[in-house]
């Protein structure tokens, strides 16, 4: 009798165990972060579903590179998975920057409706066909808030503030619209920049402000809810096509569990962190966001004109 390489049988009737397929998952943040915990939950569920035959090696702390480098690695088929906001893929599809324009997305459910719309489906199709990126599912990164070295009680208090922002058109526009001075600094260097007063403020979800200890170098946090942000699970489309239908099903189910876990963790942590930050001596403020939303309108119009997508902002906001 001839046995194939993948057979579970062997000479003498003994079972031959299949070699597990181990994939690589890059994580930008540290092991205390929600980003890492979500990746670990996905891997745990995947191993459960596959009986250990399909799993990830997870590399936290940016071991495999920064965000841009890991996205490129997924595109090249050198990395199997990485979490990145859909709006962060604007280098691949420029109009995705609209998802990082503050105050367009109301909440995570709204963002999911946008992605499931005809516009969203066309974006996902282009990512797969043109950039080797399969979106397994969306996880919730959080709602971005502003920490600073002085209390921000109204939009007027943002004036002149040196605000660290990532390489994001929308967040740079937001900082400018608030009257601040947007400053691009690598994520890994933000803590030192705050400590040395290179910048006055930064913006991130509360769990990130906690996990990266940014609160240690700040005096206040403004709950301005300027951006609801995902961390979509990017997966190599080449790798996806190499998997069996059963393996693909395991991955999709595990990704859905990871998505639910992200919402649970973000919600729980955000509710408890307000109390924690107050205990650390930070002042928590709730500035009126109505003038902030109004200040963003000219930036929406300018962006739409540049990309020739007039009316898209209003269309997405109404979904």
pLDDT grade for 124, boundaries at 50, 70 and 90: very high
Model confidence, pTM: 0.85
Q: If you average pLDDT over residues 206-214, what whole number do you get?
A: 92
CA dist 127 → 50, 83, 110, 133, 242 (Å): 27, 15, 21, 5, 17
Q: Which two tokens stand for residue 240?
A: 């996806």
Min mean pLDDT across 15-19, 102-106, 142-146, 292-296 is at: 15-19
Residue-level pLDDT at 178: 98
Q: Which two tokens stand for residue 193?
A: 């920049």
Query: What sign does the dihedral 22-26-32-35 (CA atoms) show?
Result: negative
Q: Which two tokens stand for residue 210?
A: 């906690």
d(CA 211, CA 33): 6
73: CB partners within 8 A, 6+ apart: 26, 64, 65, 79, 82
Residue-level pLDDT at 17: 65
d(CA 59, CA 265): 20
Asked if 14 and 52 count as a contact pair (C-beta separation under 8 A), the reply is no
Domains observed in the chain: 11-311 (3.40.190.170)
CA dist 87 → 29, 119, 170, 242, 274 (Å): 18, 14, 9, 27, 27
**pLDDT above 60 for 146:** yes
Phi, psi values for residue 38, rounded to 5°: -70, -40
């Amino acid at each position: 009798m001839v046995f194939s390489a993948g057979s579970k049988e062997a000479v003498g009737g003994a079972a031959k165990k299949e070699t597990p397929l181990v994939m690589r998952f890059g994580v930008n943040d540290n092991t205390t972060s929600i980003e890492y915990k979500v990746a670990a939950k996905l891997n745990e569920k995947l191993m459960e579903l596959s009986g250990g035959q399909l799993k990830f090696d997870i590399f936290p702390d940016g071991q495999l590179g920064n965000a841009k480098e890991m996205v490129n690695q997924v595109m090249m088929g050198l990395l199997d998975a990485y979490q990145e906001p859909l709006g962060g893929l604007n280098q691949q599809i420029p109009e995705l920057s609209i998802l990082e324009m503050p105050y367009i997305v109301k909440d995570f459910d709204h963002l999911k409706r946008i992605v499931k719309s005809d516009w969203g489906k066309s974006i996902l199709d282009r990512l797969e066909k043109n950039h080797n990126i399969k979106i397994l599912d969306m996880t919730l990164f959080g709602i971005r808030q502003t920490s600073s070295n002085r209390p921000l009680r109204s939009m007027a208090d943002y004036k002149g503030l040196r605000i660290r922002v990532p390489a994001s058109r929308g967040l740079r526009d937001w900082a400018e619209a608030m009257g601040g001075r947007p400053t691009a600094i690598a994520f890994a260097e933000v803590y030192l920049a705050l400590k040395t007063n290179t910048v006055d403020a930064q913006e991130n979800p509360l769990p990130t402000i906690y996990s990266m200890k940014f609160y240690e170098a700040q005096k206040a946090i403004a709950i301005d809810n300027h951006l609801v942000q995902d961390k979509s699970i990017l997966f190599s489309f080449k790798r996806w096509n190499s998997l069996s239908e059963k393996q693909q099903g395991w991955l999709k189910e595990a990704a859905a569990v990871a998505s639910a876990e992200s919402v649970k963790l973000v919600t729980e942590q955000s509710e408890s962190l307000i109390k924690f930050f107050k205990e650390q001596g930070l002042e928590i403020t709730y500035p009126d966001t109505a003038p902030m939303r109004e200040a963003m309108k000219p930036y929406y119009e300018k962006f739409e004109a540049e990309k020739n997508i007039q009316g898209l902002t209003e269309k997405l906001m109404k979904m």
